[in-house]
Amino acid sequence: MLYDKVKIIPGLVVFIGLVTFPIWFNVISGKATPAPVPEKSLIAKECVEPTQFMRTSHMQLLNTWRDDIVRTGGTRKGTTANGTEYVRSLQKGCMKCHASKVKFCDTCHNYAAVKPYCWDCHIQPKEII
Site for ligand HEC in 25-54 (CB under 6 A): 38, 41, 44-48, 51, 54
- Cα Dmax for the chain: 86
Site for ligand HEC in 84-123 (CB under 6 A): 84, 86, 89-94, 96-98, 104-105, 108-109, 112, 114, 116-118, 120-122
How far is Cα 41 from Cα 30, in angstroms, rounded to an integer? 28
The radius of gyration computed from the CA coordinates of the chain, to the nearest angstrom, equals: 25
| Amino acid making up residue 41 | S
Instruction: Please count the residues of this chain forming the interface with ligand HEC, following the rule CB under 6 A.
Output: 41
Please, how many CA atoms are within 13 Å of residue 27, restricted to the half-sphere of its CB?
A: 4
Q: Which is nearer to ligand HEC, 22 or 33 (CB)?
A: 33
**Per CB under 6 A, which region of 5-13, 16-24, 26-34, 55-63 contacts ligand HEC?**
55-63
How far is Cα 106 from Cα 52, in angstroms, rounded to an integer? 18
Residue ranges that bind ligand HEC, judged by CB under 6 A: 38, 41, 44-48, 51, 54-55, 58-59, 61-62, 65-66, 69-70, 84, 86, 89-94, 96-98, 104-105, 108-109, 112, 114, 116-118, 120-122
